[in-house]
Amino acid sequence: MTAALPAASAAENNPNSTEVLVRGSYQQEMTPDIAYINLGTLTEAETVAAAQTKNADIMEKLYRQLKELAIKSDYIKTSYYEVTPVYKTDDNGRRLQTIRGYQATNNLMVTTSPEKIGQVIDTALKAGANQVNNIRFGKKEESEAKNTALSQAVRDAMNKAESIAATLNKRVVRIKSVNESNISILSPETGSHFRLAIANDSMAGTTPVSAGLLQLTANVQVVVELE
């Protein structure tokens, strides 16, 4: 990222000083070591109780089979639960006020390793789940990675400040301020690296899921004083 031109701002007690705003950035691609998958099941029946019972039977089987994959209970959490009425429609598809049944939706957030995502999907579908809503990849030590990226971004900004100072036959004498502009880890969930194929009975093996790479980006703004 290109540094800003020197902003001629004379300090109150030193007319020969100049303030410069520089921007530093850092980017890094990282291999994810943790994955989050949101999946669940939607069931429908004539009564609320029947819809809930059908849903609970599937989820109980799913819980049991996920634990057989060595996924602990702490890493299986309910993320959404809802029971809603289903209304009859006329021949034109317009909703009538008559309820014809109920739908129960129960979604889970499962935390696992990227290598197990395919197994989790297959296990869920075989247990009766019919929703794979979202997959996100990340880093276990996310804070540490972000702090390292910020340090590198600040170094980039200071290198630019030193280059500007040398060009002007000056030197950096003071750091006036440092501001974090942005720091983020972009998951392949929203990028081109992410690929998911839902398995069916005719497919052999495990559902293929490509984790891709995480994109870590950090940006800072630094104001320095030159003399």
Q: In sequence order, what DSSP letters do the residues of 2-35 get, joined into one string? A: PPPPPB---BTTBTT-EEEEEEEEEEEEE---EE
Cα gap 160→3, rounded to integer Å: 6
Instruction: Please report, for the domain that includes residue 192, its CATH number.
Output: 3.30.110.170
**CB neighbours of 108 closer than 8 A, spacing ≥ 6?**
38, 39, 40, 59, 62, 76, 77, 78, 79
Q: Cα(174)–Cα(143) distance, rounded to whole angstroms? A: 28
pLDDT of residue 89: 87
Report yes or no: 30 and 216 within 8 Å, Cβ to Cβ: yes
Residue 89 within any structural domain of the chain: yes
pLDDT for the residue numbered 191: 39
Same domain, 24 and 63: no
Q: What is the mean pLDDT of residues 143-148?
A: 92
Question: For residue 193, what pLDDT band results from cuts at 50, 70 and 90?
Answer: very low
Based on the fold, state whether residues 185 and 209 are members of the same structural domain.
Answer: yes
Considering the domain architecture, whether residues 112 and 205 belong to the same structural domain is answered as no
Check whether residue 52 and residue 134 sit in a common domain.
Answer: yes
Helix (H) or strand (E) holding 122: helix 117-127
- Domain-embedded: residue 2: no
Both structure tokens of 37: 């998958």
**Residue 9: pLDDT over 80:** no
For the whole model, what pTM was predicted? 0.74
Query: Which of residues 113, 138, 163 is at a domain's end?
Result: 138
* Cα distance between residue 22 and residue 7, in whole Å: 10
pLDDT over threshold 60, residue 12: no
| 23 and 61 co-located in one domain | no
> What pLDDT was estimated at residue 3?
47
Higher per-residue pLDDT: 18 or 10: 18
First to last CA, the chain: 24
114 DSSP 8-state letter: G
Mean pLDDT for 129-142 is: 91
Residue 38 shares a structural domain with residue 105:
yes
**148 and 222 both lie in a single domain:** yes
Quick one: 99 and 23 in the same domain? no
- The answer to the question of residue 8 being in a domain is no
The per-residue pLDDT for 11 is: 47
* Contact by Cβ (8 Å): 220, 150: yes
pLDDT grade for 199, boundaries at 50, 70 and 90: very low
Please check whether residues 113 and 207 belong to one and the same domain.
no
Domain that holds residue 182: 18-31+141-226
Closest CA to 154 of 26, 48, 33, 9: 26
Contact status, residue 219 vs residue 2, Cβ threshold 8 Å? no
Of the residues 92, 122, 138, the one at which a domain ends: 138
Per-residue model confidence as pLDDT tens digits over 57-113: 999 999 999 999 999 999 999 999 999 999 988 888 788 888 999 999 999 999 999
Task: Evaluate whether residue 12 is within a structural domain.
Answer: no
By the 10 Å C-beta count (0-12 exposed, 13-18 middle, 19+ buried), 16 is classed as exposed
pLDDT at residue 5 is higher than 70: no
- Kindly give the interhelix angle for 117-127 and 48-68, rounded to the nearest 10 degrees: 140
Question: Is the same domain home to 89 and 62?
Answer: yes
CATH code of the domain in which 93 resides: 3.30.70.2970
Q: Is residue 27 a part of any domain in this protein? A: yes
Q: Domains in the chain: how many in total?
A: 2
Tokens of 115: 């290598």
The answer to whether 99 and 123 are in contact (CB under 8 A) is no
